[in-house]
Amino acid sequence: MRLVSFVVMGGPVVWLILACGLLAFGVFVERALSLHRARINYSDFLHGIFNCMRQVKPQDAHVLEALTLCDETPGPVAYLAKMAISCRDASAYDLDRTLQDTAAAEISRMERRLAVIALIAQIAPLLGLFGTVLGILDGVVVFQAQGPLIQSANLLDGLLLSLASTVAGLGVAIPCYAAFNILVIKVDRIVLDMERTRYEIVAFLKGGYTREILS
């Protein structure tokens, strides 16, 4: 009940801030679940891929088995391994460049909609400040209209509007800032796994790295 009174007290600006907060929360939940599914134990996964590729089977059956394992495993690491196996006949340099381009596309896919949370974290305090200014302006208008006979209760409405907007803006911005950084950390961990996967699978397929590949 107090929350409803708080929202009503703040007016349209608080409603707008809370709507932004709900949008950011929805994006955070969707991205967090997606990134949780995307991260795997890349070391165990590559161990399984390498075991498949080492097997001697007719008509590239070992390759098909490795590709099937990639298809059954979620996340960008598995997709990166699939691309490497599919392009295994390319030169070491071309293979590494292909995997770099693939990794860049996957990173962009993982980072989509993170900008929404970052944007809300930035504009929520500004919206709160806007509501604060409106509340102060409302108090000044009341003071000007009623002159020396003004009642303190009449000024409280503008003051409460100012405080409600400020609290709502900060209350949305702080969790959004934390949520954004949590998701960035999750993305960075997956990116690190992808880098390790790229190095190891090129080394496996091509028998080692050269300085040209690593540069």
If you ran DSSP here, which 8-state letter would residue 59 be given?
G
**pLDDT value at position 144?**
65
Q: What is the pLDDT of residue 137?
A: 77
| Contact in structure between 37 and 188 (CB atoms under 8 Å) | no
Q: pLDDT value at position 11?
A: 76
Secondary structure (DSSP) of 139-182: HHHHHHHHGGG--HHHHHHHHHHHHHHHHHHHHHHHHHHHHHHH
Separation between Cα atoms, residue 133 and residue 131, nearest integer Å: 5
Length of the chain: 215
Containing domain of residue 48, as a range? Answer: 2-214
CA 79 – CA 49 distance, rounded (Å)? 12
**Segment 161-205, tens digit of pLDDT:** 778 888 889 999 999 999 999 999 999 999 999 999 999 998 888
The encoded tokens of residue 137 equal 């302006």
Closest CA to 38 of 112, 142, 143, 133: 112
| Integer Cα distance of 23 and 40 in angstroms | 28
Which residue's structure tokens are 């990639």? 70
CA 108 to chain centre: 10
Low-confidence ranges of the chain (pLDDT < 50): 1, 209-215
How many domains is the chain built from? 1
Torsional sign, CA 125, 126, 129, 134: negative
The pLDDT of residue 211: 40
pTM (global) more than 0.75: yes
pLDDT score recorded for residue 212: 43
Counting Cα atoms < 13 Å in the Cβ hemisphere of 148 gives 0
Distance CA 24, CA 138 (A): 30
